[in-house]
DNA sequence: AAGTTGGTTAGCCATGTGGCTAAGTAATCT
DNA sequence: AGATTACTTAGCCACATGGCTAACCAACTT
């Protein structure tokens, strides 16, 4: 689990990879199609794809000479859940601080 | 903005740093207190703190020889929002696929 | 003043990262 | 069969990363 969060957050830490994820949410795409909108050498781009695949965020299937890339939504969900939990803890704490401030306002001591 | 997401996701990509964030949601803590629960050399640990600070996830204040670390929730929120938006796109797409499947089920063509 | 505590700086290490070019293989098209 | 297309492998680069030790400075305690 900790390893999954590591690899998912790390994969999301690059704008090229985030753009790839955004594109794939519209549907599977070939490496060439994905690459076409990025101004970098193909081997470099493939490294990004590889990182997304290693993080479990995408899967790929080679058919003939074409490799199609498919999104996998669950790992991203794990990252969102972690962040969401922290936000809830934070908001809960703010609520308690607010309540304490109001109490002190009524009962200055 | 893209730089903020880069640095926040990158900061979250390490278990030590996530643990620090989780602890700080309970309230500010000194470097020493934070460090006490991690089995690594202090200079190494301070590098992690530095990375969180550079990502805007924490701020620090030195008083005398003690440095207190405080959480900053907004950058984490930005990361959560990005992930949340992708999930919504994904869920919307699943809904459309489901509706299509149901249509085809009723009108096999 | 001496000792202790809390943090800082500097340098090291092996590995990883985001790019590059060059060369190669396999699939497809003409 | 030759040319083109879609990837793949290999090696390079400068810099970053997650740790280490050693030495140091400042604040605090005794």
Q: Compute the mean pLDDT over every residue in chain A, rounded to the nearest whole number.
A: 94
- B1 pLDDT tier (thresholds 50, 70, 90): very low
Contact B48, B17 (CB under 8 A): yes
pLDDT tens, position by position, A59-108:
999 999 999 999 999 999 999 999 999 999 999 998 998 888 888 888 87
Query: For residue B3, what pLDDT band results from cuts at 50, 70 and 90?
Result: confident
Which one is predicted more confidently, B48 or A2?
B48
Q: Which residue has the tokens 């096999």?
A: B108
Phi, psi angle pair for B38, to nearest 5°? -125, 130
Q: What HEC string does B76-100 produce?
A: HHHHHHHHHHHHHHHHHHHHHHHHH
- Distance in Å from D21's C1' to B21's CA comes to 27
Q: Which is more confident, A103 or A109?
A: A103
| Structural domain count, chain A | 1
Of the candidate ranges A16-20, B42-46, B93-97, the one whose mean pLDDT is the lowest: B93-97
Expressed as residue numbers, the domain containing B75 is 2-106
CA B109 to CA B107: how far, in whole Å?
A: 6
Tell me whether residue A2 is exposed, middle or buried, using C-beta atoms within 10 angstroms of its C-beta: 0 to 12, 13 to 18, 19 or more: exposed
What is the model's pLDDT at position B109? 63
pLDDT of residue B97: 87
Q: Produce one character per residue of B50-62: b if its CB has 16 or more CB atoms within 10 Å, e if not.
A: ebbeebbbbeeee
For the stretch B72-83, pLDDT in tens is 999 999 999 999
Tell me whether A82 touches chain B (CB under 8 Å): yes
Q: What is the mean pLDDT of the segment spanning B49-62? A: 97
Edge-to-edge strand list for the sheet holding B66-71: B29-30, B66-71, B58-63
In this prediction, the answer to ipTM > 0.85 reads yes
Residue B70's nearest CA partner among B21, B33, B35 is B21
Strand B66-71 relative to strand A58-63, pairing: unpaired
Q: What is the pLDDT of residue A1?
A: 44
For the cut 70, the answer to whether the pLDDT of residue A26 exceeds it is yes
| Mean predicted lDDT score pLDDT of chain B | 94
Does B96 score more than 60 pLDDT?
A: yes
Q: Which nucleotides of D are covered by protein (CB under 7 A)?
A: 5-11, 17-23, 26-28
What CATH code is carried by the domain that includes residue A27?
A: 1.10.10.10
Using DSSP's 3-state secondary structure scheme, residue A52 falls into: helix
A12 CB-near residues (< 8 Å, 6+ apart)? A18, A21, A76, A79, B5, B9, B79, B82, B83
Which pLDDT band holds residue B43 (cuts at 50, 70, 90)? very high
Which chain C positions have some atom within 7 A of a protein CB?
Answer: 5-11, 17-23, 26-28
Task: With CB atoms and an 8 Å threshold, state whether A93 touches B27.
Answer: yes
pLDDT value of position B6: 97
- Chain B contact set for A80 (CB, 8 A): 80, 83-84, 87
Q: Is the pLDDT of residue A51 over 80?
A: yes
Give the per-residue pLDDT at A107: 80
End-to-end, the C-alpha distance of chain B in Å comes to 47
Q: Which residues of B touch A86 (CB under 8 A)?
A: 21-22, 25, 76
């Amino acid at each position: 689990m900790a390893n999954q969060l590591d690899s998912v957050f790390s994969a999301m830490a690059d704008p090229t990879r985030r753009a790839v994820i955004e594109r794939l949410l519209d549907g599977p795409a070939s490496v060439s199609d994905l690459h076409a909108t990025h101004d970098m050498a193909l081997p470099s781009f493939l490294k990004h794809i590889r990182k997304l695949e290693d993080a479990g965020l995408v899967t790929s299937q080679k058919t003939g000479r074409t490799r199609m890339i498919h999104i996998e939504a669950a790992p991203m969900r794990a990252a969102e859940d972690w962040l969401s939990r922290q936000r809830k803890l934070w908001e809960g704490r703010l609520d308690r601080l607010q309540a304490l401030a109001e109490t002190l306002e009524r009962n200055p001591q």
